Amino acid sequence: MKKLTLRALICFTIFAIGFWYIDVKSDQLHTLTVTTDTLAYSDWRCGYRCDVEGKVAYKLAANTTWHVQRIRFGKDYMAIKVVHNNLAGWVIKNDKTKLASNI
């Protein structure tokens, strides 16, 4: 019984890690293009109030394209993780940004 439980736990762990890996890699197939100067925030939960709280990590220059590291979804927003000078930041998807798939 213990061997069966251990095998099931190992299989579940491998499945969960594989599912997470596929999710991350599918996010990384996208690029983000910004049409105007856009702020990147230090926290991905900044879909609502980070412009007021001042958690800006850096600013993305206009008319640039960035490789997406991760995508998070909130109740009514999408946060996109990009890296600039080894510093991660989250851009909130809006009409100034365009998300494209490189599939």
Task: Please give the model's pTM, rounded to 2 decimal places.
Answer: 0.76
Distance CA 47, CA 4 (A): 44
CATH code of residue 79: 2.30.30
What DSSP state is assigned to residue 68? -
Sign of CA dihedral 15, 21, 24, 28: negative
Number of domains in the chain: 1
Q: What is the pLDDT along the chain (103 residues), one digit of tens a residue?
A: 778 889 999 999 999 999 999 989 988 889 999 999 988 888 766 655 555 565 888 888 999 999 999 988 877 788 899 998 888 888 888 888 888 876 5
Residue-number span of the structural domain to which 21 is assigned: 2-101
**Cβ proximity of 80 and 8 under 8 Å:** no
- Other Cβ atoms closer than 10 A to 81: 19
